[in-house]
Amino acid sequence: MSCWSVGKSGVLQQVQVDMPIISNPQELLIQVQAASINPIDVHMQGGYGRNVLGAMRQLDALAESKITCNATTDEQPLVVGRDFAGVVVSCGRGVRGLDVGQRVMGVISPYKALGSHAPYVLAHKDNVVLCPPSLSSTECASVPYAALTGYSAAVVSGCHGDVGALQGIRVMVAGAAGGVGVSLVQMLQAWGAQVVGVCSLASFELLSSLGVLEFYDYQDNDAMQALTMERSFDLVLDASGCRDLRYLECLKTNRNASYVSLLSPLLKNTDAHGLLLGVAKSALELVQLNSSSLGKGRLVKWGYYSPSKQALAQIRDMMQRGQLKPVLDQVFPYSEAKAAYEHMQHGKHAGKTVLDMTV
């Protein structure tokens, strides 16, 4: 089958890969109908995450080879794509509650060598849910990876797993019109938080259509300064992809105020300095940030994508109820993935960019 891979050269190209075969009884084989592009796919073109994800990939390959008695994968091409919607083609023996022919959506962890920018993918049953019937596959494919990342930042990092703690608190989402941001603002509102979005002026209308009542342009220095002076936020979730410490300054000065950034330096540092030094350098950066902010009662954390069966089921329920609406920026035919990646790289998108495999 013809897949999009970043290969050893780090350049996005179409490569031929063997059709995947179920070797783990907990897996499903899915014919992909649509898959979104996430920043990690774009960054992987330059080899991003090669040390950490590469090590995890090798461990995963070892575990798989134990199951299949088939030592392979060293030379596997790296197929990009972290989420998908499609139709179940076959199920492992251990899969319950999902069946051949059903339309599903889900995620593939970043360390898996075979991503979703491919005609077929293997996915673990815990990372797959039924598509809400009223939504198209392009819509469904746009949500899982970004929404799980937003969920993990808000719920796991932001409030120690207690969604109830978000009720009534004032939360800033920086990068509110991005792929993660559009899911995050909707989920936070459904959980009862008072959401304030920070985005570019061009995205005000989009945020307003998602029910956000208060938003600020990050290029408007006066507005941003006023927001900093107010120090009115209990939680700041930074999905801007920038290290803009103005957002940290917007927090209240009390013990429970937290700043969660999705721009963890871990993969970048381990790419540059190797595993041990990279992890140590990242830990030191976090300690340094906290040592200056803890004095003001604020906590700085990194947020990460984290797969969760329970979170994915909640995300699906929110989509079904219309509380989490997919926001598509542009849909490209599968054959035009290069143009879609360039579109993402230009950074002019709002919401999600999706590949459609059916055209």
| Distance of alpha carbon 245 from alpha carbon 243, whole angstroms | 6
- Two tokens, residue 42: 């774009």
Q: Which stretch binds ligand NAP (CB under 6 A): 86-94, 122-130, 179-187, 252-260?
A: 179-187
239 near ligand NAP, judged by CB under 6 A? yes
242 near ligand NAP, judged by CB under 6 A? yes
| Distance of alpha carbon 38 from alpha carbon 100, whole angstroms | 28
| Distance of alpha carbon 215 from alpha carbon 200, whole angstroms | 9
304 near ligand NAP, judged by CB under 6 A? yes
| Distance of alpha carbon 139 from alpha carbon 326, whole angstroms | 6
Nearer to ligand NAP, 99 or 230 (CB): 230
Amino acid identity, position 174:
A
- Two tokens, residue 241: 């992809």
Return the sign of the alpha-carbon dihedral for residues 34, 12, 144, 19: positive
CA distances from 130 to 38, 107, 134 (A): 21, 12, 11
Residue 107 CB, shortest distance to ligand NAP, in Å, is 11
Nearer to ligand NAP, 132 or 303 (CB): 303
Residue 199 CB, shortest distance to ligand NAP, in Å, is 5
Stretch 145-164: interaction string toward ligand NAP, x if CB under 6 A = -x--x---------------
Q: Which stretch binds ligand NAP (CB under 6 A): 122-130, 131-139, 176-184, 313-321?
A: 176-184
User: Residue 160's Cα: distance from chain center in Å?
Assistant: 19
| Distance of alpha carbon 264 from alpha carbon 129, whole angstroms | 28
Helix (H) or strand (E) holding 145: helix 144-151
38 near ligand NAP, judged by CB under 6 A? yes
236 near ligand NAP, judged by CB under 6 A? no
Helix (H) or strand (E) holding 291: helix 275-293
- Two tokens, residue 150: 């937003």
Interface pick for ligand NAP out of 178, 278, 307, 326 (rule CB under 6 A):
178
Pairing of strands 27-37, 83-91: antiparallel
Nearer to ligand NAP, 92 or 241 (CB): 241
Nearer to ligand NAP, 38 or 269 (CB): 38
Please report, as residue ranges, which positions from 180 to 219 form the binding site for ligand NAP (by CB under 6 A): 180-181, 198-200, 203, 218
The residues near 163 (Cβ < 8 Å, ≥ 6 apart) are: 155, 191
Count of residues touching ligand NAP (by CB under 6 A): 28
Nearer to ligand NAP, 49 or 119 (CB): 49
Nearer to ligand NAP, 79 or 198 (CB): 198
The answer to whether residues 84 and 116 touch, using CB atoms and an 8 Å cutoff, is: yes
Please report, as residue ranges, which positions from 55 to 94 form the binding site for ligand NAP (by CB under 6 A): none
Interface pick for ligand NAP out of 4, 29, 39, 206 (rule CB under 6 A):
39
Contact residues for ligand NAP, defined by CB under 6 A: 38-39, 146, 149, 174-175, 177-181, 198-200, 203, 218, 239-242, 244, 262-264, 304-305, 347, 350
